[in-house]
Amino acid sequence: MKRFINTLKNIWNIKDLRTRILYTLALVLIYRIGSFVVLPGINPGDLSNLQAQTKDGVLGLLNMFSGGAFSNASIFALGIMPYITASIVVQLLTMVVPYFSKMQKEGESGRNKINQLTRWLTVIVTLFQAFAYLTNLRFQLQGATIYSITGSDSLNFFNWALPMSVMLTSGTLFVMWLGERITDKGIGNGISLLIMVGIVARLPFSLFAEFASRMEEQGGGLVIFFVELVVLLIVIMLCILLVQGTRRIPVQYAKRIVGNRQYGGARQYIPIKVNAAGVMPIIFAQAIMFIPVTLFGFSDSESMQGVRAALSDFQGFWYNLIFAIVIIAFTYFYTAIAINPKQMSDDMKKNGGFIPGVKPGKRTEDFFDNVLSKITLPGSIFLAIIAILPAFIGLFGVNSQFAQFYGGTSLLILVGVVLDTLQQIESHLLMRHYDGLTKSGRIKGRSSQM
């Protein structure tokens, strides 16, 4: 306890770190306040149908990511997910389109161009999703609480649908701006942090709902509730193990004498994470799962509505099967972006390093590629299992909202973002010769790579 209090004092004594934390908290507060600002013309008291629709399923996950803004018909109802979707599309283009690949290699100017394209694509995606959201909103409210508009459909479009779509798009862009400000001037990854805040905001309600259900006559009582908390703690430990697990590769550096000093000669280790992609495959896969639900929402076909229902049931077989496959695919994709075996091999060769028993150059590159393939496969499968675990937990009678915290997108994001943020705080402490958050000083977040 004394160590914890001293650490808080050290954090407060570092002016730059204190400013970053307070700045982050201020922007998070603005985000939370905005999630309760309802769209004009809608009575918050008449949103019971929309809130019932978002209690479970894919819409329930989307509501959780937005911190309840989706069910509140807020100006931040679409949250940050359109930006995530646009980022997926742009990153895929950098892998398959030579123009975008060349742009990515142009350094800072190329990254600025890619970021600008991502923002414009976010506007397009958000406008598309805004119309789908408003269509669903009118259906759920049955027009009772929306401004009474008379005349043709085109008049309704220009007087209500178009302004509201622009407002929803502006809300998403503002949330995206908040995330970028947190990344630049705050602490942690802004986009991931805002998603985590939305998830944490729903945790107390889910926990209370599960406790109330267990206190009912057929609920099982405090014993079952205690068992659920123990299982949740075990799953959290597994998630931490998945996020921090690494394989150490020995590297021998040749002796070099420059002037009167000797460099190299010692064996070092390169840590390669079992899950180098972190939590991003989960976020990307979840964004992909939202797309068919949005598309099929415009169709009146019974078959399309059946597909939409199957992909909206996060406890259903088809949803979890497709979700797991997409996660495995995105884990390989994001690992290929995060770690470049050829660059690792070239950097080792330039610095006079080599892996014992492996020739420098192409052989070393193949060795790294082989290691990545071997550790990425079990890591991606484990990641997929953790992601679909809430569906199995729900089979034991756990409340659907509380079950989402047993692994799945929610818990992995929470663990990953918390570790990543703590790692940045610890780095600030160690740079200024203060003790870290742990005795070992080995907090490893999602972004801690070689």
d(CA 117, CA 337) in angstroms, rounded, equals: 19
Span 72-77, average pLDDT: 86
Q: For the chain, give the mean pLDDT.
A: 77
List 271's β-bridge partners, or say none: 248
Inform me whether the pLDDT recorded for 191 exceeds 80. yes
Task: Assess contact for 415 and 239: CB atoms under 8 A.
Answer: yes
Q: Which residue has the tokens 């109802």?
A: 77
Tokens, residue 245:
């697990």
Tokens, residue 260:
């009167």
Q: Looking at residue 445, what is its pLDDT?
A: 52
Give the model's confidence band at 450: pLDDT under 50 very low, under 70 low, under 90 confident, else very high. Answer: very low
Structural domain spans, the chain: 14-187, 201-450
Task: Assess contact for 312 and 57: CB atoms under 8 A.
Answer: yes
d(CA 84, CA 79) in angstroms, rounded, equals: 10
d(CA 170, CA 398) in angstroms, rounded, equals: 37
Residue type, 317: F
Task: Assess contact for 282 and 383: CB atoms under 8 A.
Answer: yes
Give the model's confidence band at 111: pLDDT under 50 very low, under 70 low, under 90 confident, else very high. Answer: confident
Q: Looking at residue 260, what is its pLDDT?
A: 55
Span 135-141, average pLDDT: 76
Inform me whether the pLDDT recorded for 273 exceeds 90. no
d(CA 345, CA 360) in angstroms, rounded, equals: 7
Q: Looking at residue 174, what is its pLDDT?
A: 92
The least confident of 55-64, 249-258, 357-366 is 249-258
Q: Considering only CA atoms, which of 301, 311, 339 is closest in space to residue 447?
A: 339
Q: Looking at residue 26, what is its pLDDT?
A: 93
Task: Assess contact for 175 and 65: CB atoms under 8 A.
Answer: no
The region, left, alpha or beta by phi > 0 then psi within -120 to 50, assigned to residue 187 is beta
Same fold yes or no, 14-187 and 201-450: yes
pLDDT tens, position by position, 339-353: 778 888 887 777 777
d(CA 285, CA 423) in angstroms, rounded, equals: 26
The least confident of 70-74, 85-89, 282-286 is 282-286
More confident residue, 369 or 219: 369
CA distances from 344 to 271, 272, 347, 366, 370 (A): 12, 11, 5, 11, 13
Give the model's confidence band at 298: pLDDT under 50 very low, under 70 low, under 90 confident, else very high. Answer: low
CATH number 1.10.3370.10 given to 14-187? yes
pLDDT tens, position by position, 224-236: 888 888 888 888 8
Q: Looking at residue 146, what is its pLDDT?
A: 53
The CATH code belonging to domain 201-450 is 1.10.3370.10
Span 376-384, average pLDDT: 85
pLDDT tens, position by position, 30-68: 999 988 888 887 777 777 777 777 776 667 777 777 878
Query: Which of 15-19, 174-178, 197-201 has the largest mean confidence?
Result: 174-178
d(CA 222, CA 227) in angstroms, rounded, equals: 9
442: CB partners within 8 A, 6+ apart: none
Counting residues of the chain whose pLDDT is more than 70, the rounded percentage is 80
More confident residue, 170 or 132: 170
Inform me whether the pLDDT recorded for 417 exceeds 70. yes
List 256's β-bridge partners, or say none: 263
Q: Dihedrals φ, ψ of 188, to 5°?
A: 90, 175
Q: With a threshold of 0.75, does the pTM exceed it? A: no
